[in-house]
């Protein structure tokens, strides 16, 4: 923990002190070359203690950066103090600084110091800055300490630069007498312009070289362009460059140029690209050509190097996405998994059916089916045995068919020459008969088997069905069931079909009530179905009377005339009679009946 009692100091290490003494004794240079910084927190704890430098150290506790010094000088106010300085650029950081070390040309740690903890942020944290780290170190003699600097890797501090960049004023520039101040390009140009005429579109004169920004912007008309700056400007739009500029999104309007982009499998993915490139598994390099036809209208063309697929799309006012259209060419034909260009198949290719790289038009498709008799007259073949492809054919002379004549032939091929079936239909004169045959593993056709139709086997008449003697016709379900009827209930009937004699059986259930002594009850039984022609028999059965305890018996009798003993075809007179002296007024008798006829 750092507070008002914390101590901050810098010391020479044992190695550093020995090298300092050796340099002083022998009078040889001692070159300090690099500065290292660390967070003093090798364990990664949340609130580490402040490091306490020790002369025995040979490395920092937890170094995270080492770089050449920017300067090493003797302090202006104390010759025994040397000041070492390093500049950490804005793009480096994300770590704490709690310890500092100096390294000499031999790579040895010669001095260490602690400092108040300071956090060096990164630019993407929103608080990036250039950090200057200085160490003031007391030495016995500063005369032999030298700085070895690589000017290509160090940065100057603002204080250093300001001390050496005092600019001349305009009067001083025009006078030309001051030799300790610097001249900016503007001051040089203004001084020369006082005595030299500036070049214009109509007059010769001096001209000023444009800055790279002026060349790229293209709005300045008073400067000239050098080849280097012209090439750099062209490189900004993808011309005269080894690598096109990167485009992060197509959902914006950019200058007409060639750009570089990537599919969504790349961390530098380009937004707004065609849908197929948004697959995270794709890491394709994309060539993107932009045509800015208006301030609010841009046409894009995207080419993928991996597959050669090319798309074009338009981004205009109010649009939030681009409708891409694939550019078709022979360089990437259509496949089962990818959209592409395709060639029309010839009629020969359609009929053969072996090409898988062309497309079929409706006309050629229909003609291809017609070659097998589908949607068109069947193709003529000489012999039914020669059919080898599934289709509809015509055999004009009946070779290979059941009998001589003209036939329509349906051929079904499952396994070439081994598993096939044929249906042959006689054409006209042979009466339209139908035959079938098949061929199995032996490769030999079976005999033709005739199929029976109305033209070859007549329908039986109802009389023939009823007689049951004819064996040269066939029976239909209608004739087989003719005359059959049924009503299954408490009162019902069954009428057998005519070929079974047409017998009709009917039944029912009745109730007789209100008896008096020696009287019977007489009524009419109506049949559920009127007998068509005759009645063979009628019978009835009475059930016990309802009154108890004396058991009485009753009988059912037919009441008919001598002329019509079995009643009419639709009804029968019926009486229930008390056959014993035991009776009771108001008895109720249940009875059932059964009748036979046809």
pLDDT in tens, 171-223: 877 777 777 677 777 777 777 666 667 777 777 776 788 898 888 888 888 88
The Cα-based distances of 313 to 198, 284, 317, 326, 329 in angstroms read: 47, 19, 14, 9, 17
Helices and strands, number each (H, E), in the chain? 10, 32
What is the per-residue pLDDT for 144? Answer: 52
Euclidean distance between CA atoms 115 and 7, whole angstroms: 9
- Asked whether residue 551 carries a pLDDT value surpassing 60, the answer given is no
Pick from 325-339, 412-426, 495-509, 576-590: least confident: 576-590
To the nearest 10°, report the CA torsion of 386, 392, 396, 402: 70
What is the per-residue pLDDT for 389? Answer: 76
Mean pLDDT to the nearest integer, 352-379: 77
- Asked whether residue 22 carries a pLDDT value surpassing 50, the answer given is yes
Question: Where are the extended beta strands (E) located within 105-254?
Answer: 109-120, 131-138, 145-147, 208-209, 223-224
What average pLDDT does the structure give for the chain?
A: 80
What is the per-residue pLDDT for 34? Answer: 94
- Asked whether residue 90 carries a pLDDT value surpassing 60, the answer given is yes
Mean pLDDT to the nearest integer, 260-277: 89
What is the per-residue pLDDT for 373? Answer: 67
Residue 596: pLDDT band with limits 50, 70, 90: very high
What is the per-residue pLDDT for 552? Answer: 53
The larger pLDDT score, comparing residue 289 to residue 362, is at 289
b/e map 394-421, b = 16+ CB within 10 Å:
ebeebebbbeebebbbbbebeeeeeebb
Percent of the chain with pLDDT over 70: 80
The Cα-based distances of 270 to 168, 266, 301, 562 in angstroms read: 48, 9, 13, 114
Pick from 44-53, 130-139, 452-461, 574-583: least confident: 574-583
Judge whether 393 and 409 are in contact, CB under 8 Å.
Answer: yes
What is the per-residue pLDDT for 331? Answer: 56
The larger pLDDT score, comparing residue 503 to residue 472, is at 503
Listed residue (320, 334, 324, 332) closest to 277, CA to CA: 324
- Asked whether residue 33 carries a pLDDT value surpassing 50, the answer given is yes
The larger pLDDT score, comparing residue 342 to residue 263, is at 263
Mean pLDDT to the nearest integer, 569-574: 81
11 — phi, psi (to 5°)? -140, 160
For residue 149, the SS3 value is coil
Euclidean distance between CA atoms 379 and 420, whole angstroms: 18
- Domains in the chain and their CATH numbers? 10-164 (no CATH), 170-232 (no CATH), 237-326 (no CATH), 372-451 (no CATH), 503-597 (2.60.40)
Pick from 78-87, 506-515, 560-569: least confident: 560-569
End-to-end Cα distance, the chain: 122
Strand duo 95-104 + 358-359: pairing: unpaired
Sign of CA dihedral 399, 403, 409, 413: negative
The whole model's pTM is what? 0.31
């Amino acid at each position: 923990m750092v507070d008002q009692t914390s101590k901050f100091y810098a010391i020479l290490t044992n190695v550093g002190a020995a090298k300092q003494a050796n340099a002083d004794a022998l009078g040889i240079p001692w070159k300090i070359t690099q500065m290292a910084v660390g967070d003093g927190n090798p364990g990664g704890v949340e609130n580490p203690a402040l490091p306490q430098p020790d002369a025995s150290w040979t490395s920092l506790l937890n170094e995270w950066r080492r770089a050449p010094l920017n300067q090493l000088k003797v302090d202006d106010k104390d010759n025994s103090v040397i000041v070492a300085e390093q500049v950490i650029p804005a793009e480096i950081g994300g770590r704490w600084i709690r310890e500092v070390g100096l390294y000499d040309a031999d790579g040895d740690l010669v001095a260490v110091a602690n400092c108040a903890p300071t956090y060096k942020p990164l630019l993407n944290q929103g608080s990036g800055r250039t950090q200057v780290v200085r160490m003031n170190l007391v030495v016995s003699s500063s005369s032999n300490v030298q700085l070895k600097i690589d000017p290509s890797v160090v940065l100057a501090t603002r204080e250093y630069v300001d001390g050496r960049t005092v600019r001349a004023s305009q009067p001083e520039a025009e006078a030309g007498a001051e030799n300790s101040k610097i001249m900016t390009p503007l001051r040089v140009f203004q001084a020369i312009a006082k005595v030299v005429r500036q070049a214009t579109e109509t007059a010769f004169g001096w001209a000023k070289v444009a800055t790279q920004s002026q060349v790229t912007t293209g709005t300045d008309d008073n400067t000239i362009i050098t080849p280097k700056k012209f090439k750099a400007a062209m490189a900004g739009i993808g011309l005269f460059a080894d690598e096109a500029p990167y485009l992060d999104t197509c959902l914006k309007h950019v200058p007409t140029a060639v750009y570089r982009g990537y599919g969504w499998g790349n961390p530098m993915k380009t937004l707004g690209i065609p849908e197929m490139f948004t697959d995270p598994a794709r890491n394709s390099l994309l060539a993107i050509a932009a045509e800015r036809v208006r301030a609010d209208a841009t046409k894009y063309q995207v080419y993928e190097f991996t597959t050669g697929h090319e798309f074009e799309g338009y981004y205009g006012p109010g649009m939030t996405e681009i409708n891409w259209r694939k550019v078709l060419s022979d360089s990437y034909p259509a496949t089962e998994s990818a959209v592409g260009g395709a060639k029309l198949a010839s009629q020969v290719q359609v009929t053969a059916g072996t090409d898988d790289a062309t497309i079929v038009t409706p006309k050629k498709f229909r003609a291809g089916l017609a070659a097998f008799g589908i949607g068109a007259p069947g193709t003529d073949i000489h012999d039914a045995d020669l059919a080898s492809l599934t289709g509809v054919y015509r055999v004009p002379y009946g070779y290979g068919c059941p009998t001589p004549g003209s036939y329509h032939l349906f051929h079904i091929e499952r396994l070439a020459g081994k598993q096939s079936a044929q249906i042959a239909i006689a054409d006209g004169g042979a009466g339209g008969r139908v035959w079938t045959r098949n061929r199995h593993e032996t490769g030999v056709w079976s005999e033709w088997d005739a199929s029976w139709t109305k033209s070859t086997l007549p329908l039986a008449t109802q009389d023939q069905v009823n007689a049951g003697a004819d064996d040269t016709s066939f029976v239909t379900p209608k004739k087989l069931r003719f005359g059959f009827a049924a009503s299954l209930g408490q009162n019902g009937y069954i009428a057998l079909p005519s070929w079974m004699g047409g017998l009709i059986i009917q039944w029912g259930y009745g109730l007789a009530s209100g008896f008096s002594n020696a009287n019977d009850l007489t009524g009419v039984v109506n049949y559920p179905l009127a007998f068509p022609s005759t009645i063979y028999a009628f019978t009835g059965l009475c059930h016990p009377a309802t009154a108890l305890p004396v058991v009485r018996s009753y009988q059912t009798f037919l009441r008919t005339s001598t002329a019509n003993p079995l009643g009419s075809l639709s009804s029968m007179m019926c009486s229930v009679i008390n056959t014993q002296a035991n009776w009771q007024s108001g008895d109720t008798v249940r009875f059932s009946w059964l009748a036979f006829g046809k």
